[in-house]
Amino acid sequence: MMKYNQIMEKIHVIPEMLSRLQNEITFHLNRQVRARRYKMAGIVAACLALVISGTTIAYHSGTAWGQKEPKPPIVAVGGVQEYTSIKQLAESLSFPLSVPTVLPDGYAFASAANQFGMAVVIYSNGNHQIKYCMGMEDAALIGNNHIDDGYEMDSNHAMLYDDTNRGYTIAEWQDDAYSYCVISDVPLEEEQWSDIVEGVAPIE
């Protein structure tokens, strides 16, 4: 400690050295102040960018601050949307829907669906089902491949397929604008098919 004091006593700070030391201290202090200012400016700029981008998004989405964003429309998975009534199905289609008004005893509406723009209605009697399809042009007939020749009915010139000793399981027909297909999981007699085909009419 005595040696330190002796050395310090021999050091004489002249005014020039003191001035340079003060200038260095001032320079470093100014750099720190500027750095803090730049940091604050960066934070403010980032906040402004967030506010501007949020406002832009709200404007383009048709919503304003404080308002709830509208729920997106329900998009059917794979282009298929199911409904709980024929009326709901009809409202989803781009064409006026017609459905069977006469069915075999015991059959009633079970479900409905819009399958890629084609109407599909299922009727059931609890044990068996009848599937009705209607589409624009030949949409309801696409994919229906038949091995045997069909039997042409007088009713709307509909074709019956899958001839068995007990009856038929498929009826198909077409008019100028639409195609129709009815599939039963049990054979029906020709008279029953005639009632179904002739009974297809626009829904009220």
Q: Which residue segment(s) compose the domain that 17 sits in?
A: 2-60
In CATH, what number is assigned to the domain containing residue 124? 3.30.200.100
Classify residue 72: in a domain, yes or no: no
Q: Are residues 87 and 25 in the same domain?
A: no
Q: Are residues 49 and 125 in the same domain?
A: no
What domain count does the chain have?
A: 2
Task: Please list, in sequence order, all residues whose beta carbon lies within 8 angstroms of the beta carbon of residue 137, skipping any fewer than 6 positions away.
Answer: 177, 178, 179
Classify residue 65: in a domain, yes or no: no
Classify residue 70: in a domain, yes or no: no
Q: Are residues 161 and 198 in the same domain?
A: yes
Q: Are residues 48 and 81 in the same domain?
A: no
Per-residue pLDDT of the chain (204 residues; tens, 9 = 90+): 565 555 555 555 565 655 665 665 565 555 554 555 555 545 545 544 444 444 444 444 444 445 444 443 443 445 899 999 999 999 999 999 999 999 999 999 999 999 999 999 999 999 999 999 999 999 999 988 776 778 898 877 899 998 777 789 999 999 999 999 999 999 999 999 999 999 999 998
User: HSE on the CB side for 189, CA within 13 Å?
Assistant: 3
- What is the DSSP code (8-state) at residue 68? P
- What is the DSSP code (8-state) at residue 72? P
Q: Are residues 137 and 188 in the same domain?
A: yes
Q: Are residues 114 and 172 in the same domain?
A: yes
Q: Are residues 56 and 82 in the same domain?
A: no
Q: What is the pTM of this model?
A: 0.61
State how far Cα 63 lies from the chain centre: 21
Classify residue 66: in a domain, yes or no: no
